[in-house]
Amino acid sequence: MIDYIKLASSKSKGKRPYFHDDPAVERVLNITMAVAGELAVMRERMDSIERILEKKGLVLREEIENYVPDSKEIEEERQTWHSEYISRILRIVQQEMEELENPDKSIEDIANDINEM
């Protein structure tokens, strides 16, 4: 059996062109677009599930469309999920802010400090 996972992502011949001044931008953009693609895939899957459930008479898609939390507990659960999710994906922005607020020593400096401790 071939390693289809690795081979599927193989590079093609020729030096890859980079269009941004910093190749890191290109790298992050490519990863982001791949994730965007997977979100679209998941959205299509959800759509299939909803339609199948409706076809089988288990749920009306209108019910899903009109659903709003009907208890304080559910409201909080859902908003907490959003909060966690956003914090997770914007982690680096938060960390950069913390660094701004509390300028830190480098780990090499800390290693030197510790060496004296």
Partner 1 sequence: MAKNIPPVWNKIAKHAMLPETTHDERARYNFLANLNKHLAHVSQGNKIAYETRVEPKFEKKHGRAIRDTKELGQEIAKDPHYQIWSSLRRSTMEMRQQAGRSIVLRQAEALRDKARTLNAGKASLVLDSNCEIPAYLLAVDNHLMPGSYHTELIEDDVTPAANYDSGIFVTTAGLLGRYNDGGGKAITNWVRKNDPNFNPKRILDIGCGMGHNVLPIARAFPDAEVIAIDTGAPMLRYAHARAMDLGITNVKFMQMDAAKTTFEDESFDWVQSTMFFHETGGKSIYKIMNEVYRVLKPGGLTLHIEQPQYTDDMSLFEKFIRDWDALNNSEPYWSKMHDIEPLDLMKASGFKEEDFMQIGAKAENDLDDGSQNAEEPEDHGRSPIWNVFGAIKN
Residues forming the site for partner 1 (CB under 8 A) = 1-2, 4-5, 7-14, 16-21, 25-26, 29-30, 33-34, 37-38, 40-41, 44-45, 48
Q: Exposed, middle or buried by CB within 10 Å (0-12, 13-18, 19+), for 21?
A: exposed
How far apart are the C-alpha atoms of 3 and 74, rounded to whole Å? 44
Cα distance between the two ends of the chain: 55
The distance of closest approach from Cβ of residue 33 to partner 1 in the complex, given in angstroms and rounded to an integer, is 5
Nearer to partner 1, 9 or 106 (CB): 9
Task: Supply the minimum distance, in Å, between the C-beta of residue 15 and partner 1.
Answer: 11
CB closer to partner 1 out of 21 and 101 = 21
Cα of 11 vs its chain's centroid, Å: 24
The minimum distance between CB 43 and partner 1, in angstroms, equals 8
Instruction: In angstroms, give the least distance from the CB of 48 to partner 1.
Output: 6
Residue 39 contacts residue 33 (beta carbons within 8 Å): no
